[in-house]
Structure 1
Amino acid sequence: MQSAACFRFGLDPSGCTPKSRLISRYAAQFTDLFFTSYSFPEGKSMSMEIGDKKVDFTATGLIMQASVKEWISGYWWSRISHNGTAQDTMMRFSAEDLTHLPGGRDAHRDLLVRALQARARNEFTWFDLAAAAIEAAAVAPEDVREEALYLDVPVIGLIVAIGDQEAFTEQLWSALEAHRAYYSKNEYRTCWSDGFISIPILAACCMAIDDGMTIDIETDYLPRYLLDHPAWMFELDGTVT
């Protein structure tokens, strides 16, 4: 669903149409369902709203595990949707609970999970964990290093800058430029829907808004409607066609 949302924002960069927001809500809700299912004991009967319908499902527990990268994506959507329940769900997991993509452990992503959770718990150690994640990204395995340096590190720096409006805006420009550089490196990448907008940067901006900051930059990489209307996910009735 994330790819569908990103593709839709490629057609509607401002996110102003109800259809764009509905697809984004589906992405946020399905991600929440995915992690809710993992976070409760196997076999527990549960229900959740998807669109305008109630969906019944059975929890799987950690027998089926998510990856660190999937957790980070899920956390971004919980912040984009300003959904406190979804954020609480993500906090039920520790880095040790999560599996890893093939190729070994991604230390910088492990540290990013720990940093985001420490920040959510108002633990000052999150700054040290964020710094450690940036250092680990510099020596990440070759197959993930470019993504780590161009997409992950700028977002970590952006979150660190929350609370300082001038520093945040400056870092936001840098993060957007890094995103553009990564996805425009070759013709193949320019077709990836994940490059049409930046989910991580959007999430960091939503975190800043939740802390009372403003986002003054206009760019097609950030759906303006979602930034200007924090309750966007709860304003739809699920019947948009």
Structure 2
Amino acid sequence: MTVTFARHGAPGPDAERFAERLGERLAKRIDDLEESADMIDFAFTTALLSLRARCVVDPRAAAVETWEAAVNAMQLGSALFAVTGASEGTVECRINRKLRTLPAIGPQSSADAGNWLTAFWLAVVCRDQQRMTQLCEVPLERLRSPEGQYDEYIYHWVDVLQTYWLRRPGLVDKLIAAIEASDPAVARVAPRDLLQGVLYPPINLFYHFVRKDEEGFSPALVEALKLHKAYWTLDEDRKADIDGSIALGPLAIACLAYDGEIPIEVESEYLPKHLLQRGWLGEFPT
């Protein structure tokens, strides 16, 4: 039996125009990258905002503009790690329907584990296996923040995902290490509510996915959405923040499960239907 889980909030009267303006601003920032890629992290942030704005007004991702926003975000996330992975020369990247030559900029603090996870989720949602592989080949040490802004668990988690996708040995032990390190009693940097409501649920979902737990996956997905909603409705500021419009980590794991033919017995605007069910795949080159 399919469970329907309601998303919080509703589009405001200016939501459509806001999404359009973001798309226009993003297109300009993407064009500017060919002159200098120093602001690629800013463009990536704008692309994420644009995707979420599109999902506010198009919660099923039924419009091609929403798919295009997802693809642009994925392309910029991957490009961020491409241009920071080289210190000289140029890098060829397809972004916003165009193959672009971007100048390499070398290591940057923005090319960290947090942005890596977001970029990887987007590649999973867009089913871009080549970009998933490229991201998984980024050395783990390159993702470490010198300022210590992340708990150690996040590096275990990245290692789990890279190990899974590249079929390296040791997946079970690494997953156990990630689960143990994400315990609120162990983690020291991430706020407890963020850890429990947003950061940990994808790890738990992945645990059910790799075990091919068909009976347990959908209940775990519902629980992830409950925690996501609880976090993003804790106060008025969070309720108004469009970052909560989709549950990107759970969506990505649900995409892996969907493609692995695990039944997804959950419907929610936090999991846009046509992104989950790859309805736009092949619409245009990614």
The verdict on a shared fold, with TM-score over 0.5 as the criterion, is: yes
TM-aligned CA distance change 1:198 to 1:71, over 3 Å: same
Is 2:74 the counterpart of 1:28?
A: yes
Partner residue in 1 for 2:270: 221
SS at match of 1:32: helix
Deviation at 1:197, TM superposition (A): 0.7
Deviation at 1:131, TM superposition (A): 2.5
Q: C-alpha deviations, 1:20-69, integer Å up to 9, x for none? A: 11111111111111112223x32232222222222111223336661111
Distance 1:158 1:67 in 2: 23
Partner residue in 2 for 1:109: 154
Deviation at 1:159, TM superposition (A): 0.8
Distance 1:146 1:135 in 2: 17
For residue 191 of structure 2, the aligned residue among 135, 144, 154 is 144
Partner residue in 2 for 1:82: 127
Partner residue in 2 for 1:234: 282
Q: Which range moved further: 30-39 or 193-202?
A: 30-39
Deviation at 1:171, TM superposition (A): 0.7
Q: Which range moved further: 210-219 or 192-201?
A: 210-219
Deviation at 1:235, TM superposition (A): 0.6
SS at match of 2:66: helix
Mapping of residues 162-241 of structure 1, within 5 Å: 162=209, 163-229=212-278, 232-236=280-284
Amino acid at match of 1:95: L
TM-aligned CA distance change 1:49 to 1:143, over 3 Å: closer
Distance 1:10 1:122 in 2: 36
Mapping of residues 49-128 of structure 1, within 5 Å: 49-62=94-107, 66-100=111-145, 102=147, 104-123=149-168, 125-128=170-173
Amino acid at match of 2:232: Y
Amino acid at match of 1:99: R
Q: C-alpha deviations, 1:46-97, integer Å up to 9, x for none? A: 2222222221112233366611111111111111111111111111223211
Deviation at 1:207, TM superposition (A): 1.4
Partner residue in 1 for 2:49: 3
Amino acid at match of 2:246: I
Q: How many residues align?
A: 236
Distance 2:285 2:196 in 1: 39
Partner residue in 2 for 1:161: 208
Aligned identity (percent) is: 25
Distance 2:68 2:109 in 1: 28
Contact 2:82 2:91 in 1 (8 A): no
Contact 2:137 2:162 in 1 (8 A): no
Could you state the TM-score of these two structures normalised by the residue count of structure 1?
Answer: 0.89
Q: Give the ranges of 4+ consecutive aligned residues of structure 1 lying more than 6 Å apart after TM superposition.
A: none
Deviation at 1:129, TM superposition (A): 2.1
What is the alpha-carbon root mean square deviation over aligned residues?
2.1
SS at match of 2:91: strand
Is 2:65 the counterpart of 1:19?
A: yes
Amino acid at match of 2:76: F
Distance 2:174 2:192 in 1: 18
Contact 2:136 2:166 in 1 (8 A): no
